[in-house]
Structure 1
Amino acid sequence: MKRWFSMTVFAMAITASQGALAADAPVVSSPADAINIARKNACMGCHAVDRKLVGPSFQQIAGKYKGDAQAQARLETKVRDGGSGVWGVLPMPSHRSMSGADIKTVVGWILAGSPSK
């Protein structure tokens, strides 16, 4: 039941976050896709799924923004533009080379609790 729930929550987060995307935008088929995007864009150099590294864990981020209807948009902006002050003094660099679809995918996965399956 837990795996089904995680996949369902992940799929709902991605579906909701991609509502404003163009029809030709890629659709994530699994959490593995989001993990691969995060790895490809160096997110895992500063973040881990379940423990703090340089920045907060993805699960800490999901917990902080749980129930926040604006979290998806706010975090997409933070990933694209970078930021500081929310989790400490170290700034998060901007990821301007990441596509909007990839940012939506990773943020949706994070907010879904960063499921591995």
Structure 2
Amino acid sequence: MARAAAHATLDRNRLGPFLTSVALRLCIDFYRDMDRRSRLLQRAALIDAPLTTEEDVCDEDFGRWLLSQVRQLRGREQEVILARAAGISTAEFARMHNISLKSAEAAFTRGRARLRTACSQSLEGRAV
């Protein structure tokens, strides 16, 4: 607020309305940030809050569909994708399964490419 009030080109006759506007915008930014954080926590399932928006319902449905696609992957690809979804890094996955990092990264890349293809094919099927 002090920096805004001390701005060189500020019209001193409009100082009150200007500072009011700055204060309102700061409040709006604060509450937008709080709302964004709340939505991120809901998506991360760190809190139990009911889904309220259409976007949340769509995200949950897409997540179920994507998980069903992951379960159709074979072997290492499925394992590494599920591990990454659980928050395990590719390097940690490689160490846990006693394979090279390059092998784990390759399996992750192949699995991700197959999921991307499945998603594209699904979208093309819906557009027809």
Q: TM-score range by the shorter chain?
A: under 0.3
Give TM-score, length-normalised by structure 1.
0.27
Larger of the two Rg values belongs to structure: 2
Q: Whose RCO is larger (CA < 8 A, sep 6+)?
A: 1
Higher helix share: 2
Give TM-score, length-normalised by structure 2.
0.25
